[in-house]
Structure 1
Amino acid sequence: MSEEKLAKPDIGDAPLFPVHKFELSDWKDGIVIRSPNWLGDAVMTLPALLQLKKMVPRNCGLFVVCPPHLLDFFRSIPIVDFTINLHSAHKLWKLCEIDKVRRLHAGIAVLFNNSLRDTIYFRLTGIPRIFGASARGRDIMLTKSFKFPESRKSELNKLHHASKYLAVAYALGAAKWDGELPEFRVQKEPELMDASFVKISSMPRLMTIAAGAAYGESKRWPAEFFNRTAGFWAENGGNIAVLGSPKEKEIGDKVIEGLPSGKAYNLAGKTDISELIQILKKSEICVANDSGIMHLSAAVGGRGIAIFGSTDPSATSPVSAKWKVLFEKEYCAPCFKRECLKKVSPYTCLKKITPSKVISAIEDLLKK
């Protein structure tokens, strides 16, 4: 076994809660998980999902309820037996959605989001045992709630999100996580993908870049810094693909501006989850803000550089030993704001991470 396989992601120790004992009959037809709404948070549930899957009795299933944009993500993970996508992440459930969850005939539910609304809906499905974090006054509706320390602004906190999810899994009797992550299945064969995408994703020495972040500008390293980093990669024989949502196309254009034709491509808004998984698996290195793509790249086995600004790297760093995190601690960081509130020299936490620092980190990572 290689050293790379043996390396375990450093996510700290999960808090320990009393273990809930189940009878075989308690499971009914399985366990259903309500996923978080963000891709990055959903990726961080994977260690817990894997450990829960290992304890599910024979002939029982592991089911997931998720928002529509995460359906293909969970369908790409073989340990998930069935996925139900809600019509919206935040709107009221439809009666047919309550009925779909009811018809799973699960005996146990775990809520990996903090929604009071979803807790009510899960109660309406008739699932008898529902577990989740203490949040928003919903404790009385949970079979068992788990209280975690609140994040403190301007301080680095020690509890990683993946450890929180694992703590819940451990409290249900799951075995300790060994550092492995679930495999991903190919949802879309190459012949069903756009020919230009297949060509780009197959290029040698491919650097993928995630220059956006849905949360806000305070998580986005400057596009011109990404541009200089990509320029270094191109000058050394590499190719570049910028990834992101349709809203991040303009950022992608800035990242590849002035780079050699035929070596840099803006794929923002042009890839679905299946294609993201495909290209991130083939990428030699990924440079990313704290984003869903960062977490997905780490989960599929890629290596990369994670750039943090307003958020806490000890809580949401990539769940991988193949990634290097860059973070410059300012007095106000992590602030968790969508935009910097400083009137003078805003976004210092991001601008202190210069392209030369990222390039140096890339060179160090590729030597390993």
Structure 2
Amino acid sequence: MSESTSATLIVAPSWVGDMVMAQSLFKLLHTQAPTSAIDVLTPRWSAGLLQRMPEVRTVIEHDIAHGQFAWRARRQLGRALNGHYQRAIILPNSWKSALIPFWAKIPQRIGFLGEWRYGILTDARRKDKRQYPKTVEQFIALALPANTPVTTYPRPQLYPHPANTVLHRLGLTKHAPLLVLCPGAEYGIAKRWPPTYFADIADYFIQQGGQVWLLGSQKDAPIGQEIINTLKSDNCKNLCGLTNLAEAVDIMALADTVISNDSGLMHVAAALDKPLIALYGSSDPNMTPPLHPAAQILYLGLPCSPCFKRVCPLGDTRCLQDLKPERVIQILRATL
């Protein structure tokens, strides 16, 4: 890290999708001050994703688990960063997330109030979700004077690395039009389209001469296997849990089409300029939409939606069960 006090430290969010949307903030900061460096303090798992964002100079990794207090580790890291930055922008709302910039004695510490962070932030703002309904708008607002309307913002754009190494390790080749399916969603099952529906889409695409790869985390591996077990055809590979996040980005860059639940990988697909079909259940596409003008969003908008629950409180998850594969196939048929 440079000793330049004009540099900005970003305390990054803990969700993949939020991390992708945060690139809009990085782009704006770079436009505002092209010679001022942007460093990002982030959990280790997201370092590879940030390395595919050219606006970021340095990724400062830590191993503090989400929700963990880790008083000593935060204080040591804060002291190590003392003198490096003029400004910090803290994207998470928690009290803990603001401690490292506080201990680093960064003069400007900007963030939303969250857990009553009056004494830790120097510029503590109230989050007005009526003024900033989208998560990306809330991020952008922190780079602007307080209460400034957000009328436009740059969209995320990831720069993948060549995928040759990971493809060789997994024994993969792209030999036909490639559909990537992302059947997981870290938040909960109320955001996950039924695996049998994904299997129907995979069968259709393979019958048209294509190949299908399933991407996701280790937690999504059983979902991927359920899809594989339901398929009527071959040429589908379950890669869930076999890649890290950076490798998943590089593999997804090869896709001709991506179909995803509202998840971090959905935002990755949008930032890679992939033709994208995004499936929404318990969440709100008006709050966290894929940031690409050509993305196609499927959302039933039932009277109970969005409930933002991890598990359907009514027990039927109709917001996803009633979103039938035929609607997705209709879109695919028009694009193939």
TM-score for the superposition, normalised by structure 2: 0.90
User: How far 1:145 moved relative to its partner?
Assistant: 2.5
CA distance in 2 between counterparts of 1:303 and 1:99 reads: 45
| 1:189–1:335 CA distance, 2 compared to 1 (3 A) | closer
Residue equivalent to 2:314? 342
Q: Give the aligned partner of residue 3 of structure 1.
A: none
Listed one character per residue, the Cα deviations across residues 40-81 of structure 1 (whole Å, up to 9, x for unaligned) are: 1111111111111222363x3100001121111112222100
CA shift for structure 1 position 339: 0.5
Q: Determine the structure 1 residue equivalent to 2:82.
A: 102
The yes-or-no answer on 1:64 pairing with 2:79 is no
SS across alignment from 1:90: coil
Contact persistence 1:30–1:56 (CA under 8 A):
no
| Aligned partner letter, 2:32 | M
Q: Which residue of 1 aligns with 2:172?
A: 199
Matched, 1:49 2:26: yes
Question: 1:74/1:225 Cα in 2 relative to 1: closer, same or farther (>3 Å)?
Answer: same
Q: Indicate the structure whose relative CO is greater, using CA pairs within 8 Å and at least 6 residues apart.
A: 1
Task: Indicate yes or no: 2:59 matched with 1:80.
Answer: no
Candidates 224, 237, 245, aligned match of 2:209: 237
Q: Residues of 1 paired with 2:34 and 2:129: CA distance?
A: 34
* 1:322 partnered with 2:299: no
Alpha-carbon RMSD across the aligned residues, in angstroms, is 2.4
Cα 1:42–1:53 shift into 2, 3 Å: same
1:99 partner amino acid:
R
Q: Does 1:300 align with 2:279?
A: no
Per the alignment, do residues 198 and 52 of structure 1 end up closer, same or farther by CA in structure 2, a change over 3 Å counting?
A: farther
Cα offset, 1:141, TM superposition = 2.7
Long gaps (5+) in structure 1: 1-26, 152-156
Match of 2:159 in 1: 184
Shift of 1:203: 3.3
TM-score after normalising by structure 1? 0.82
1:232 to partner: Cα distance: 0.8
Structure 2 counterpart of 1:363: 333
| Letter matched to residue 77 of structure 2 | E
For the Cα contact (< 8 Å) 1:123–1:141, is it kept in 2?
A: yes
Q: Partner residue of 2:126? A: 147
Instruction: Give the counterpart letter for 2:105 in structure 1.
Output: G
| Inter-partner Cα distance in structure 2 for 1:62 and 1:231 | 45
Contact kept, 8 Å, 2:179 with 2:213, in 1: the verdict is yes
Q: Which of 20, 27, 39 is the equivalent residue of 2:16?
A: 39
Secondary structure, aligned partner of 1:131: strand
Q: Distance in 2 between matches of 1:170 and 1:361?
A: 39
1:213-251 CA distance string (max 9 Å, x none): 111100000000110011111111111000111111110
Is the 8 Å Cα contact of residues 230 and 256 (structure 1) preserved in structure 2?
no
Residue 107 of structure 2 corresponds to which residue in structure 1? Answer: 128
Change (3 A) 1:321 1:150: closer
Give the Cα separation in 2 of the matches to 1:149 and 1:255: 41
Shift of 1:158: 7.6
Which residues of structure 2 form unaligned runs of 5+? none
Name the CA distance, whole Å, in 2 between partners of 1:150 and 1:189.
39
